[in-house]
């Protein structure tokens, strides 16, 4: 096992660690770690990411359900259109994407390059939201209001995004729960983990039918990520999550820009 591969498995721990520390964001690292450190094909990496993100989020969701922090009705309303969209995306849309998307001035944009570039753009958008988020997080309980049409549309949009890039989409789900269902921030974060777990794991079912899965590798990687989330939840008692989230945002921004440069220059 080479140094790069060892760093890849350490990266699995980091994914869970970040999720445990700041309640999100860790999943945005999964695909780059799988692709650049463990040499996994980008399309396969997005599938593996769904399983890793889903299983790791499920651990956090179960913990939150026991603490009665999860709004189960809101999770159901949001998760149903989301997992239908992500399943359909993985089952039908991703396999239908042509191997060569287009060519510009002699530069051929393949399916793999297109997925990584799109993923990098999502990383940049996500990082900016983490860096610029200076709002005071309110935990005041308000009467839960269900704007069903907007919640369904948001669920479909997040499902499509998750299906294409394999990331959890927490940076889109949490604001939607706060704005559309009037959940306080802590309950929104807790509820988002359950939504991410449901839609990611069901979306992964679409991949099982379309590709060969290296289960030994996937379970080892996922196990390390789950160990990381327990370490992160423990360290969260001693570390300021807000400051860490902003610093992590800068790191994700640099990573996103690097991926765009690497894919274009390659």
pLDDT tens per residue across span 157-175: 888 888 887 776 776 787 7
Q: Distance between alpha carbon 48 and the CA centroid of its chain, in Å?
A: 11
Closest C-alpha among 153, 175, 170, 160 to residue 118: 160
**Cα distances (Å, whole numbers) of residue 88 to 46, 117, 203, 204, 216:** 15, 22, 8, 10, 26
Q: 107-110 and 100-104 as β-strands: parallel, antiparallel, unpaired?
A: antiparallel
Residue 122, phi then psi, degrees to nearest 5: -60, -40
pTM equals 0.79
Mapped onto helix, strand or coil, the DSSP state of residue 100 is strand
Place of tokens 């899965």: 213
Residue 106, phi then psi, degrees to nearest 5: 85, -5
**Cα distances (Å, whole numbers) of residue 157 to 149, 154, 176, 225, 235:** 12, 5, 11, 26, 33
CA Rg value for the chain: 18
With contact defined as beta carbons under 8 Å apart, do 49 and 166 qualify? yes
The pLDDT of residue 227 is 92
With contact defined as beta carbons under 8 Å apart, do 248 and 130 qualify? yes
Triad 123, 104, 259: Cα angle to 5°: 20
Question: Would you tell me the crossing angle of helices 3-22 and 215-235 to the nearest 10 degrees?
Answer: 40
Reading the block at residue 48, the tokens are 């593996």
Q: Which residues of the chain have pLDDT under 50?
A: 136
């Amino acid at each position: 096992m080479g140094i790069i591969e060892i760093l890849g498995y350490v990266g699995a721990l980091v994914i869970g660690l970040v999720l445990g520390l700041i309640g999100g964001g860790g999943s945005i690292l999964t695909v780059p770690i799988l692709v650049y450190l463990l040499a996994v094909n980008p399309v396969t990496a997005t599938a593996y990411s769904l399983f890793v993100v889903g299983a790791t989020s499920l651990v956090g969701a179960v913990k939150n359900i026991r603490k009665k922090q999860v709004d189960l009705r809101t999770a159901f309303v949001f998760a149903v259109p989301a997992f239908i969209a992500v399943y359909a995306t993985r089952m039908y849309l991703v396999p239908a994407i042509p191997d060569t998307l287009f060519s510009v001035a002699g530069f051929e944009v393949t399916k793999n390059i297109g997925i990584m570039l799109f993923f990098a753009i999502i990383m940049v958008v996500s990082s900016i939201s983490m860096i610029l988020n200076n709002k005071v997080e309110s935990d005041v309980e308000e009467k839960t209001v269900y704007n069903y049409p907007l919640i369904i549309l948001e669920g479909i949009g997040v499902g499509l995004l998750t299906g294409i890039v394999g990331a959890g989409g927490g940076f889109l789900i949490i604001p939607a729960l706060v704005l559309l269902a009037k959940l306080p921030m802590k309950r929104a974060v807790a509820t988002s983990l359950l939504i991410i777990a449901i839609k990611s794991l069901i979306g992964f079912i679409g991949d099982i039918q379309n590709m060969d899965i290296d289960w030994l590798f996937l379970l080892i990687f996922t196990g390390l990520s789950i160990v990381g989330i327990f370490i992160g939840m423990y360290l969260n008692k001693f570390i300021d999550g807000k400051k860490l989230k902003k610093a992590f945002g800068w790191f994700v921004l640099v990573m996103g820009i690097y991926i765009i440069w690497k894919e274009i220059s390659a």
